[in-house]
Chains A and B, each alone.
Chain A
Amino acid sequence: MKTNSRNLYLIPYAAWIALFVVAPIVLIVYYSFRDIEGNWSLSNYAHFFTPVYMRMTLSSFWYALLITLFSLLVAYPTAYLLTKAKHKQLWLLLIILPSWVNLLLKAYAFIGLFGTYGFANAFLESVGLGRQQILFTDFSFVFVSVYIFIPFMLLPIFNSLEELNPTLIQAARDLGASPWTTFRRVVFPLTIDGVKSGCQAVFIPALSLFMITRLIAGNRVITLGTAIEQHFLVTQDWGMGATIAVFLVIVMAVIMAVTGRRRRGARG
């Protein structure tokens, strides 16, 4: 009876995973082996390994790397300061708050801010730098993406810093370690798990960003996400779109495996 009812409780989870995790992956794998005419073939994969898509893949990785790096650079010190702050829950809430606003609205707001006659340019002009093109540049793309991803990087780092036992830092200082050495040898290694999950939470979605590439980068940055969108919506070449998606799934699995291999207690 006991195991019986426990199995019953599992049904919703099992059904959920089967319907929304396993089935979609099976479907994209299935479609990736169908060419544009609907025949079975490997042509999509052959096509994927041509210079056009390889260049696109490289640029996706490059931008995702930049976005992750800058998010980390901003999020780590912020999280560190937050754990020291007086009203940390309030500060945390304020940082998370923007993620409650719809992504599209934020993107449109940035079009207004970064536009030729927008706030950013008005500021640049008033300090004597003159109008610059900000919108539709690599800078604006990375900036807006970092802005959007910061909460996802910040939260896991903040949590791991919170869990850090402060006596360890005191002990390091007592033993004569400089603040920098303490950070390098004690704090950072002990929060590396938070950094890893933060990087996963940013890098993986950043690889397949698509809407921001059009709205903020004006399609001057092309990621694999853009190509998937185009194949599904415009060319109706579902096979090719699915092939790129399969590639992304594999890459993500590899990233998860590599960054998640060593569990807690790892030494830096």
Chain B
Amino acid sequence: MKQIVRLFASVLIAGFALMYLTSYLNSEQGYSGGNTLTVYNWGDYIDPDLIGKFEKETGVKVIYQTFDSNEAMLTKVAQGGTTFDVAVPSDYAISKMREENLLLPIDKEQIPNLKNIDPHFMDLSFDPGNVYSVPYFWGTVGVVFNPELVNGKTFESWEDLWSPDLRNQILLVDGAREVVGMGLNSLGYSLNDTNEEHLQEALKKLNKLTPNVKALVGDEIKMLLANEEAAVGLVWSGDASEILSENEKLDYVVPKEGSNLWFDNMVVPKTAKNLKAAHQFINFMLDPENAAKNAEYVGYSTPNREALKLLPEDISGDERFYPPAELTEKLEVYDNLGKKMLAHYNELFLEFKMHSK
């Protein structure tokens, strides 16, 4: 008995000692209090040089933490116990966070560089008036394809995906909104359509695609397409730019019927401790020179008009990632359809997955 008590006691003492030690070490490195800024962003989604530059310019120490899904980020912010000052969620996550009161409004007075952002990318449905968020990067959903294997198809139209000679050649990204949205777009409907007839029609149309679908996969889609495991893939433009940089044979296109326009925006979560530094950081990232440098490093499309002018012609003139205005007008942002409709979309998606070849 005594031994058990002793064991418990020693474990507890060791635990407290370790806790003290970590807090001591943290304060040694200036992690608690003081002038620090905690940035919560996707992995490898910022040019690391810019963090150093920001620290030098402002004297604020940056703690950079990463997440790999909007859901994970949302949960962490909602749980509290964190001190994220700036986070970079995607559009639908922003509207969710807005509804759940997880965001602080952004003081635009402190962000003069906001004027550099293309007005096209402001005031969108997930954050009307940009009260809570400032665009970081944007992109589309489209088709990556291997021109050698598709008999001269260009995928200018979604309809090309349905050609019978692409049997077992298409990889789809495992996302309900993306795939159901593609079905809706191919019929000329909006990807935010909630009309039950249209949705059923889209499901029927998608079911006809099944013989061509090789698989629906997650992040592996990048590796599989770059390795030419399949000739065609439905992906986000961000992933597409990574795939294209790994395999130069491949090409990317956004079909002309329209597609999704997505955003990753900077926000200030409710958990923020250092509001001043958070605004400084957002303003810093919107500076044309910094934004251009960041866009070159990350490879995604920048919403920053002034930065675009500074980018080399082969990036800014690339219509695959900076589509011309007549196409951008057809692109739609995902509206927050509400939990019920989202569940319905997912159910349709499940039905599509279960449809046998």
Contacts and interface: CB of A to CB of B under 8 A. Distances in A.
B79 to A, nearest CB: 15
B216 to A, nearest CB: 4
Contacts of A111: 220, 224
A214 B172 CA distance: 12
Interface residues of A, number: 31
A94 interface: no
Interface in A1-39: 5, 8, 36-37
Interface residues of B, number: 30
Interface stretch (A95-103, A156-164, A233-241, A260-268): A233-241
A215 B346 contact: no
Contacts of A219: 174, 215-217, 353
Given A218-B171, A218-B217, 9 more contacts: A8-B1, A56-B354, A115-B229, A116-B228, A117-B227, A218-B214, A218-B216, A219-B174, A235-B343
B105 interface: no
Interface in B320-357: 339-340, 342-343, 346-347, 350-351, 353-354, 357
Contacts of A136: 214-215
Interface in A156-195: none
B221 to A, nearest CB: 10
A59 B353 CA distance: 12
Contacts of B346: 230-231, 234-235, 237
Interface string A197-239: 0000000000000000011011110100001001101111100
The 9 closest A-B pairs by CB, nearest first: A218-B215, A219-B216, A136-B215, A235-B343, A235-B346, A237-B343, A222-B354, A36-B339, A219-B353
A52 interface: yes
A172 B224 CA distance: 57
Given A56-B354, A227-B350, A233 B71 contact: yes
A237 B69 CA distance: 17
A235 B215 CA distance: 21
Interface string A47-89: 0000010011001000000000000000000000000000000
